[in-house]
Structure 1
Amino acid sequence: MPPAEAHEAQKRLRYDSGNSASASGGFESWGRYPTYAANIVPLHWQSDFPAVAQNLHNGILPVGLGRSYGDVCLLKDGNLLATPAMDRILAFDRDTGLLTAEAGISLAQILDFAVPRGFFLPVTPGTKYVTLGGAIANDIHGKNHHVAGTFGRHVPEFELVRSDGSVLRCSSSTNQDLYSMTIGGLGLTGLIRWATLQLKPIVSRLIDYEGIQFHGIDEFLALTEASKEIEYTVSWVDCTSTGKNFCRGVFMQGDHSTRRAPLKPSPEPKLVFPFDAPGFALNHLSVAAFNTLFFHKQMKKSVVTLQDYEPFFYPLDKVLHWNRMYGKSGLLQFQYVIPWNNARAGTVAILTEVAKSGLASFLAVLKAFGDVPSPGVMSFPRPGITLALDFPIKPDKSFPLFERLADMTREFGGRLYPAKDAAMTAAQFQAFYPQWEQLARFRDPMITSSFWERVTGDQPSL
């Protein structure tokens, strides 16, 4: 990489994504629940760890931008090793699209570097405010899982440092066990210093987009079957309506446009959700009204257009601190995947249970996962249907509902996504992920998280 490009790549592009700092100066997950005190230790250089860990007690946990929804990125009364200052691009090959960067760099920063050079992320979640290390640790997925699989499939190599000072290059052929346990390993196997990511070429910021209204699960399944050759597919679904409008939604699909257009970085977002909404603002009536308006904002059954990639992939990122709309109590997200043999029945049963509960989610996302395998032992996706639901926290209703939904998911042979969880029981987690005992053997002795302790009882070696 020429020196001028290297200098540009290493600029600090700071985005106030509203992810980590709580009112008390602590560290929050995106769901803002649970709330735990912790000692935050910023890492600035790759050499900072494990030296800083020698004088720390009560366990450590590497964290990025805190966009996990529950306690995967929290450690009660422990030490959080914050990585966002480790955001340097180390190498880039224009011919192959291979990019090597420190693990604290965000996907937003990678996009700002890669898009003007004609490259895009191989897999992206619904927010770009995720670090490279966090994307690996949670083996994130996106709208193209059915063709590209998970993020970890596109990370050929990374460097892992353990608390004992050992530094290990990990790939599918070197330190293979740690490679497969770190991808989707919830940040528990060590600190990722840097990683190599295979980017994909593009010639435009534009997406060839089509939005299609559907009524019911069978129409959704038919659209899913018909769109197998389209790279990106996802659906918004109305989880409040019953009767003839039960499981209505909008199926959204698209490919990177082949129409050449200027490749510019995205502008920084300017909208900010200014305050914590009152607890009564999101209720069944208000969400039902929103869902009706959202469904009918598309005047025709099918709309075909060109769309910039920002609103297609990251519609919520344009509003900073959007999690405040759920109020001070925060939000819970519930995301399952149910395998194909039970996917239709399980989805209908769970949506029916949600509609009966009186709680409502207007950020309800329905999608099919494909059969592209992940290199990660603990990876969440599997072939079937995944549904993600956001709910404001109402303690007397939310947690009993989540326990029922998790039990139903288990009965239908599915599992929940740890990166989105704040309520899964130990019995549920261990049934969903029997391979957790394998991860426990590879866990760094000093590293733990509130999630891990909650669902396994496993404690750090101090």
Structure 2
Amino acid sequence: MSISNKPQSWGRFPRVKHSHVVPVYWRHEMPQLDSFDTSILPFAYGRSYGDSCLNEGGVSLDVSNLRRFISFDEEEGLLRCEAGVSLAEVLEVMVPRGWFLPVTPGTKFVSVGGAIANDVHGKNHHKAGTFGCHVTQFELLRSDGTHLLCSPTENSDLFQATIGGLGLTGVILWAEFRLKRVQNPFIQMDNIQFTSLDEYRQIAEASDKDYEYTVSWVVCLGNEHEVGRGIFTRGNHDTTRAMPGNTQSKHLPLAVPFDFPSFALNRLTIRTFNLAYYSKQLAKHVHKIEHYDPFFYPLDAIHTWNRMYGKRGFFQYQFVIPFEGGYEAMNEIMREINRSGEGSFLTVLKSFGDIRSPGMLSFPQPGLTLALDFANHGSKTLRLLDRLDALVNAAGGLIYPAKDARMHPEDFQRYFPRWKEFEQFIDPKFSSSFWRRVTEPAAR
């Protein structure tokens, strides 16, 4: 899982050139950060979609080799590991011992440091909040050589700035976070078809109390009867069986061996996929027991799935809008997407809860969140995203920086009013393409 000489984000846009890619192998033998003549940004596995993990013209500090486990407190469930350890490695080591991640995004190929820097969320936000809610402490290296232990009680300002701080406050060398006990690697889950956002709302409100994990796939492209329908998935960790001898999923990984041509994902192919995916479930309500891997990480079974969008890459667009007026606004947003013909191959709808993150720039807030992938068709796609921005703004919502590649500065600064407060905690040698784009006048 090492990075290439040309680090890029998962959306493969924008493509930038770094002055150097500097690998790090030992947390006790870090390069002298203030000796570089350009800015620095840590980089692990490149699963951020936009440019928050890129530093055009600067140094990309490859921390993906910091992958050592340090300690585990069996009583408290506290795992301490280096920041380059992936969530996949945590699961591989800890699930057989009866422990699971407190929060996980839709891919396990994310570093622990990246999970903190982007304050990732998952299907259980309404029950557990963000990843940052479960971090107890970490060691932060600043460019002047200072090593700082950060926790809710020690260097608490840097603790809050680093969670969701997009890698700009320094290098996280190791982190400690709390795992949750599980009895086995299986999930008791339901898939429920819904025909409209109104029906989604009824299912979501009925499920949030009793189910730890909830998420939906939804149709945004089709006729008036198709848009807004989808499949609601909910689940809890299984408690009916003991830990098996082999906790790994039996699914064999696939791969996309080449870049798809630009015309492969169009209105017809996306609508055909939507119809097939919705119709594959013959009953309205299906219950089954499933391994955690396909439940949490269905796309991880297809390595390099981002190549489906072609050489020009794609835009991931995720926003959250408040519950008040949110369903009306979400219907209008889906209608706008449908009118554009720029359908999303992957569209995920979820409700965020009200658990606050300690992160200063954390994204989730109570409301409806929608995540979409749009193939990069140039100005046509950018114009659509501008129209969606206007609808999100009118609804009082905001956009997720970790998945953004084109957010306007005035929008970012309105979404995150604490950005000026955060700015004072940025390490003087650290910067990113994203941060310059959304804060520097010259980048506008």
* TM value normalised by structure 1: 0.93
SS in 1 for 2:344: coil
Structure 1 partner of 2:377:
394
Q: Write out per-residue CA displacement over residues 361-382 of structure 1, whole angstroms, 9 at most, x where no aligned residue.
A: 1200000000011111100000
Measure, in 2, the Cα distance between the counterparts of 1:30 and 1:245: 29
Task: Say if 2:209 is the partner of 1:254.
Answer: no
Aligned to 1:346: 329
- In terms of mean alpha carbon deviation, does 328-337 or 239-248 score higher? 239-248
Code of the residue aligned with 2:406 in structure 1: it is A
Partner letter of residue 246 of structure 2?
K
Which residue of structure 2 lines up, in the alignment, with residue 411 of structure 1? 394
2:79 aligns with one of 99, 116, 120: 99
Q: CA deviation at 1:122?
A: 0.3
CA deviation string 1:281-303 (max 9, x = no partner): 00011000000000000001000
Aligned to 1:310: 293
Match status 1:384 vs 2:367: yes
C-alpha displacement of 1:52: 3.3
- In structure 1, distance between residues paired with 2:441 and 2:60: 18
What residue is the counterpart of 2:28 in the other structure?
47
Aligned length: 438
- Mark the CA change 1:60 to 1:155 in structure 2 (over 3 Å): closer, same or farther: same
In structure 2, what is the equivalent of residue 8 of structure 1? none
Distance 2:194 2:253 in 1: 33
Structure 1 distance, partners of 2:394, 2:329, is 9
Counterpart in the other structure of 1:11: none
SS at match of 1:110: helix
Are 2:268 and 1:285 aligned?
yes
Shift of 1:342: 2.6
Q: Matched residue of 2:325: which SS? A: helix
3-state SS, counterpart of residue 32 of structure 2: helix
Deviates more, 1:450-459 or 1:56-65: 450-459
4+ residue runs over 4 A deviation: none
| Deviation per residue, 1:409-451 (Å, 9 max, x gap) | 1111000000100010111111111111111111001000000
1:48 and 1:215 map into 2 onto residues whose CA distance is 57
Question: Where does the alignment leave 5 or more consecutive residues of structure 1 unmatched?
Answer: 1-14
> In the TM superposition, what whole-angstrom CA distance separates every residue of 1:212-234 from its partner, at most 9, and x where no partner exists?
00011111111110001200000
Per the TM alignment, residue 397 of structure 1 is displaced from its structure 2 partner at its CA by 1.1
Matches of 1:27 and 1:454 in 2, distance apart? 18
1:446 aligns with 2:429: yes
Structure 2, gaps ≥5 residues long: none
Residues of 1 paired with 2:143 and 2:245: CA distance? 42
1:183 to 163, 180, 204: 163
The TM-score, its normalising length taken from structure 2, stands at 0.96
SS at match of 2:339: helix
Secondary structure (helix, strand or coil) at the match of 2:191 reads: strand
8 Å CA contact 2:34–2:144 kept in 1: the answer is no
Matched, 1:209 2:189: yes
1:47 shift after superposition? 2.7
- Give me the whole-angstrom Cα distance separating, in 2, the residues matched to 1:342 and 1:456: 30
Cα distance change of structure 1 residues 458 and 170 upon mapping to structure 2, 3 Å threshold: farther
Given candidates 194, 198, 201, the residue that maps to 2:174 is 194
Kept after mapping to 2: 8 A contact 1:238/1:362:
no
C-alpha distance in 1, partners of 2:363/2:34? 33
Q: 1:458: Cα distance to partner?
A: 7.8
Which of 215, 225, 230 pairs up with 1:244?
Answer: 225
What do the CA deviations read for 1:389-421 (whole angstroms, capped 9, x no partner)?
Answer: 001100031111111111221111000000100
For the 8 Å contact 1:210–1:254, the answer to whether it is kept is yes
Change (3 A) 1:27 1:269: farther
Q: What amino acid sits opposite 2:287 in the alignment?
A: V
Match of 2:214 in 1: 233
- 5 Å-filtered alignment, 1:3-402, equals 15=1, 20-21=3-4, 25-38=5-18, 39-49=20-30, 51-228=31-208, 229-261=210-242, 262=244, 264-266=246-248, 270-402=253-385
In 1, are the aligned partners of 2:33 and 2:144 still within 8 Å (CA)? no
CA RMSD of aligned residues (A): 1.4
Residues 169-197 of structure 1, C-alpha deviation per residue, up to 9 Å, x if partnerless?
Answer: 11111111111111011111111111001
In the alignment, the residues of structure 1 paired with residue 222 and residue 366 of structure 2 have an alpha-carbon distance, to the nearest angstrom, of 27
Give the partner amino acid of 1:171.
S
Q: Distance in 2 between matches of 1:289 and 1:271?
A: 22
Distance of 2:256 and 2:262 partners within structure 1: 15
- CA offsets, 1:214-261, max 9 Å, x none? 011111111110001200000000110231222000000000000224
Secondary structure of 1:172's partner? coil
**How far has the Cα of 1:269 moved from its partner?**
5.3
**Cα distance in structure 2, aligned partners of 1:260 and 1:53:** 50
Q: In structure 2, the residue corresponding to 1:187 is in which secondary structure?
A: coil
Q: Per-residue displacement from partner, 1:10-29 (whole Å, max 9, x unpaired)?
A: xxxxx47xxx53xxx41110
Shift in Å at residue 263 of structure 1? 5.7
- 8 Å Cα contact 1:59/1:447 also seen in 2: yes
Contact 1:111 1:265 in 2 (8 A): no
- Give me the whole-angstrom Cα distance separating, in 2, the residues matched to 1:45 and 1:54: 18
Per the alignment, residue 413 of structure 2 pairs with 430
User: Using the alignment, how far apart are the partners of 1:326 and 1:387 within structure 2?
Assistant: 19
Identity of aligned residues (%): 48
